[in-house]
Structure formats: structure tokens, C-alpha cells
Amino acid sequence: MSSAPLNVGTTGRRVFIGKLAGTSVFDPLGEKVGVIHDVVVTFRLNSTANVIGFVVEVGPRKRVFLPFTRVTSIEAGSVITTGLLNIRSFTQRPVETLVITELFDREVTMNDGSGTVKILDVAMQQRRPRDWIISTLHVQRIRTTTLGFKRGGTTMTVGVDEVSSLLKTDSNQAATALIQQTEDMKPADLADFIHDLPADRQFAVAAELPDSRLADVLEELGDDDRVSILSQLEAGRAADVLDVMQPDDAADLVAELPVETAQSLLSLMEPDEAADVRRLMAYKESTAGSLMTTEPVILGPDATVAQMLASIRRSDLPVSLAAATFIARPPLETPTGQYLGAVHFQRALREPPNTLLGTIMDTDLDKLSPNAHVATVTRLLATYNLTVLPVVDEDGHLLGAVSVDDVLDELLPRDWRDWDDDVTDRVMARSIDG
């Protein structure tokens, strides 16, 4: 390590962890409290590994955790802390990885196809004060002799993003541990998280999610990822997940599967859910019928405002669909009886709870034919600043509803979910310039 001090408050510094092992740890008064035994990291989005602290050996067979927030500087031969250490023995959590213990000597694969390498050392780099990540690996190429023996080759320094299999599926970063990190994520963010994982871990994490959570994620993933995940699930589990997806998203996903697989899964689904999916798949692409959901909020004219507000309070209901409740004669499942009108959420908020919905309906809201083109749907939503429109057949029965998010999914390029911020900025710039 360089003899110059590496102050924790200075960004851009890089330290190879192999040189930190055995480094003395001192308190602010200069008293030695222990030596560095290992570095603790957690792997997060895009496989970024955040350094969260050190394992410090303070005596024979006694190791404690030193959070990185208590480190003030890293110098040649010493680490300075803000104060006393927690004397509780260190216990590794499932979401934590020990760099020296678990990553050193691990064999990983070069992404450029040049073969396998062994990790000799790992560097951590500072992004901001007290914010360090694993940035660089010092590796050695592995060559196999004609007799099958492995021999060390040339050494080199590579970025973390230049290798795969940095985390093995049998490591402490198990799928269940990763899921613990993602419990508070919105479905779209969790979908991004899963998309950025290696293929094997992608499925391992997805398979551990509850059916409803996995359904939400599949609705947000790109076609390639969600087809891959669904195809690897056991058939019964795959059918259960399709059952709880929004029917339009389930129909889109089933349409991407091989015909034989699709028919098999449809036969395993709940009959009512399968019927909705088949009905949606029968419509031509880019029409209101192909875009609509068959499960908007539907109530009778004698239902009250209080009942409506309770219905749209469901946590599984997309915000766009919660903006309006459609009023129809029984039956209230699509296709319904005669469609009567809609009650907008804002209008309902201005009425007493016991007001009948039939007395405050919007009967002028444009109705879509299931064969209406997406361009027509887009124009109506934009013209009247709406988030959802009813789809009605020629006999006046409500078939479903098209929401603004369904239209955006249809209009955006198929790979838009895979765009990073730079690509998005360039596309937006072209749109503005054009």
C-alpha cells in the first residue's frame, strides 16, 4: 500500500484488500485495538458490492465488527477509528460476503470469452465520503494442461463488471438473502434488479418470490426475461402465477410462449382466468381489445360511494385503473350486463359516503370498440386527460378497460425496459430535436 494516508473523506482512492489484512487498528488516542481480519461487503443492484465494514481481530479467537462509518482514515500500516469497538463477536449475516475468506482464490469467468481466472486480490474504491465499493480485481489466468492439470498463467487487473460468477449460487448470497434486500422495492425496481442479475441467479431469485410478487415482477420485465423465467418454472407454479397476473399481461406473456407450452399452461389455469386470457389473445394486435384488462373496477348503479372507495383501495389495483369505476347492470364480471357509465375517483371524493353511484355517473365518457386502433385510444386519453377508458361491444356490454400504462407499453419500443439512463436521454433528445 502507498505510504500516503488514505483519508476516508477523500474520494477516488483505491486500496487493495490483500494489503489490508493484518493492518493494525487504532483508536483516536493511538491505542491499538486489534488488526484487520477481513472486509465485509454486501452485493446490491447491478452486482455492485458496497463495503460496509471490517472484521477486526481483537484477541485470540475474538473477532468483532467495525462499521465503515467509524473509520476516519486508512494509512500505511494503520486504520484509525472514531472510538471503541463493539465487543460483541462478529456473526456474518446471510446478505454479507467476506472478501478475503470468500472471494480470494475464487475462479470466475471473463465476460470477453477469454477463459477462467482466479482472484488474487480485490480492490475497494471510494465514491464519496464513507462510501466504498469493490471496483477492481487482480486475477491470474488459469490454463489447463493436456493431462487436465490447472496451471497459473499471466496476471492482470480487471474491473468487477468484466467477470461473471463473482458470486456462486451456493455462497452466502443465496436467493433468499437477496430477496430480503428487495422486500421494500416496487415491482418495477425489483424487475430491474432481477434483469441485471446473471441468468442462473435471475431464476433462483424469481423462483423464491411468492406468486403475487412474481406476477407483479413479470408484468414489469421485458419479454426475453419473463419468458425465460416462466419457462423454467414447474408447470403448475407457472399456471398459478399466470392466474394472479393482470389478464392483459398474462395474455401477452402466453402469446410469447411456444404454442404447445401455452396451451398446456392455459389448461392448468383457473377456468375463468384462462377464459379471459384466451379472449384477449383472440383480438388483433394494437387494438383496444388486445390492450384491455378484463378486470377493471365494476359496480352496480345501486352501489354507494363508500363501496366504491373500498373497492379502489385494493393494494393490487394499478393506479390507472383506480381512477374510475365502471357502472353496469349484472352480471358485474366481464362481459357485463348493459354498460351505464363511469364514476371518477375525484367526483366520488366530493360526495357523501351513502350517495348512489347511479346518480353521479359520467355518461358522456367515450366508449371504445374492441377493434379500435391504439392510435384512437391514445388520442382519446390525451384529449380528455384520462388514465382509463371503457371497452364496450356492439350490444353495449362492458368487455374491459384500457389504461394509459397499457398504451405506453404498446407505443414504446419492445426493448425500452432495458434502456439505461444514457439511452433514454439520447432518445428524448432526438424526439425534442425532431
Distance between CA atoms of residues 334 and 78, nearest Å: 71
- Show me where the domains of the chain are located: 6-99, 101-164, 175-282, 298-411
Right CATH for 298-411 from 3.10.580.10, 3.40.50.1970, 3.40.50.2000, 1.10.3720.10: 3.10.580.10
Q: Which H or E run includes 206? A: helix 199-208
Q: Please give the model's pTM, rounded to 2 decimal places.
A: 0.59
| CA 359 remoteness from chain centre | 43
DSSP state of 308: H
State the first-to-last Cα distance of the chain, in angstroms, to the nearest integer: 53
Alpha-carbon distances, residue 244 vs 215, 272, 351, 375 (angstroms): 6, 12, 33, 29
Tell me the DSSP string of 119-148.
Answer: EEEEEEEEEETTEEEEEEEEEEEEEE-TTS
Q: What is the CATH number of domain 175-282?
A: 1.25.60.10
The CATH class for the domain spanning 6-99 reads mainly beta
pLDDT in tens, the chain (434 residues): 333 344 444 456 889 999 998 999 999 888 999 999 999 998 865 567 899 999 999 887 788 999 988 888 888 789 999 876 777 788 887 778 889 988 998 889 999 999 999 999 999 998 887 789 999 999 999 887 666 667 778 999 999 989 987 765 444 344 655 666 577 788 988 888 788 777 777 888 888 888 999 999 999 998 899 999 999 999 999 999 999 999 999 999 999 999 999 999 999 999 999 999 999 999 999 999 999 999 999 999 999 999 999 999 987 788 999 999 999 999 999 999 999 999 999 999 999 999 999 999 999 999 999 999 999 999 999 999 999 999 999 999 999 999 999 999 888 876 666 554 444 455 445 444 54
Q: Is the peptide bond before 331 cis (omega within 30 degrees of 0)?
A: yes
